[in-house]
């Protein structure tokens, strides 16, 4: 059995009730739920939440709600601990659970075909622990990162680092794009994945998408980008 688990907490500070905020006339959490429901390879969809309005929307859309314990609520909880709790909750009720697709409750930029593709990669290669959607860094490459020390900027981590202005000369660097994590259920107990995504296991295959295909929502600008995305489907799915 393959299951999708969405994580969607209450108490957002950037946008109040963000996960049920109306985007193109529908609650935000509806988009990843419906993407999971549309995936051929997903048997059941679950939403891990500590919010009543999120739970109500999830049930209305056909998902099963995982009510988080109090210790997994709030701003400072480790997301991985929430994920592990969700996986264990599902496995207790579905002992045949094999693979999990983890989706964020605050993005519109996923669909059933992408979810199926990630799970197909896991099926194709038994040596993989997981599959993760990513985008390739350019101007935001880590070699260009800065930090503020004593009120002034310096290269992040290594003050003596010398870096070319030609970004094409940098070694490739990638970031998780807030899209899909797909992993075998046992990886959440091993804690040996690439930090900070410790629940993903040692061998995580990338699916590279163009920036900004996996952007999740934290600001009003992100809301505008999400609405643009929805307005331009299906063309953006080619990104």
Are 33 and 125 within one domain? yes
Q: pLDDT tens for residues 78-103?
A: 999 999 999 999 999 999 999 999 99
Task: Please check whether residues 167 and 177 belong to one and the same domain.
Answer: no
Q: What pLDDT does 23 receive?
A: 93
Residues 61, 4: Cα–Cα separation, whole Å: 14
What token pair was written down for 130?
């997981």
The DSSP code sequence of 24-83 is: TTEETTHHHHHHHHH-TT--EEEEEES-HHHHHHHHHHTPEEEEPPGGG-SSSS-HHHHH
Q: How confident is the model at residue 233 (pLDDT cuts 50, 70, 90)?
A: confident
* Whole-number pLDDT of residue 40: 98
Q: What is the dihedral of CA 147, 153, 155, 159, to 10 degrees?
A: -110
Q: 236 falls in which pLDDT band (50, 70, 90)?
A: low
- 150 and 211 in a single domain? The answer is no
**Cβ-count burial of 48 within 10 angstroms (0-12 exposed, 13-18 middle, 19+ buried)?**
buried
**Mean predicted lDDT score pLDDT of the chain:** 92
Same domain, 151 and 231: no
Pairing type for strands 204-208 and 130-136 reads parallel
Taking residues 105-109, report their average pLDDT.
93
- Do residue 112 and residue 198 come from a single domain? yes
Looking at the structure, do residues 211 and 102 belong to the same domain, yes or no? yes
Structure confidence by residue, pLDDT tens digits, 174-199:
999 999 999 999 999 999 999 999 99
Name the pLDDT band for 131 (thresholds 50, 70, 90): very high
Judgement on whether residues 231 and 145 belong to the same structural domain of the protein: no
Parent domain of 164? 138-171
Tell me: do 31 and 106 sit in the same domain: yes
Can you tell me the mean pLDDT for 35-54? 96
pLDDT of residue 177: 93
Higher pLDDT pick, 221 / 58? 58
Assign 121 to helix, strand or coil: helix
CATH number at residue 65: 3.90.550.10
Which residue in this structure is represented by tokens 């905020």? 21
In a shared domain, residues 167 and 184: no
The reported pLDDT for the residue numbered 17 is: 86
pLDDT more than 90, % of the chain? 77
Q: Are 155 and 130 in a shared domain? A: no
Domain count across the chain? 2
Residue 179 has phi, psi (to 5 degrees) of -95, -85
Same domain, 57 and 165: no
Pair 94, 151 in one domain: no
């Amino acid at each position: 059995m393959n299951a999708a688990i969405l994580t969607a907490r209450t108490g957002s500070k950037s946008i109040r009730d963000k996960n049920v905020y109306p985007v193109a006339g529908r609650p935000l959490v509806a988009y990843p739920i419906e993407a999971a429901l549309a995936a051929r390879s997903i048997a059941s969809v679950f939403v891990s939440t500590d919010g009543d309005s999120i739970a109500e929307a999830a049930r209305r859309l056909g998902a099963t709600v995982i009510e988080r314990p109090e210790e997994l609520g709030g701003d400072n909880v480790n997301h991985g601990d929430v994920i592990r709790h969700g996986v264990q909750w599902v496995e207790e009720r579905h002992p045949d659970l094999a693979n999990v697709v983890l989706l964020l409750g605050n993005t519109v930029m996923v669909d059933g075909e992408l979810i199926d593709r990630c799970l197909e990669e896991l099926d194709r290669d038994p040596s993989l622990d997981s599959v993760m959607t990513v985008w390739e860094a350019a101007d935001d490459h880590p070699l260009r990162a800065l930090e503020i020390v004593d009120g002034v900027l310096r290269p992040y981590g290594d003050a003596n680092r010398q870096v070319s202005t030609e970004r094409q000369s940098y070694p490739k660097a990638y970031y998780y794009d807030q899209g899909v994590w797909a992993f075998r259920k046992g990886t959440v107990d091993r804690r040996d994945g690439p930090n900070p995504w410790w629940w993903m296991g040692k061998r995580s295959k990338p699916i590279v998408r163009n920036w900004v295909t996996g952007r999740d929502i934290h600001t009003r600008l992100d809301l505008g980008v999400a609405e643009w995305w929805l307005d331009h489907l299906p063309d953006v799915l080619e990104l």
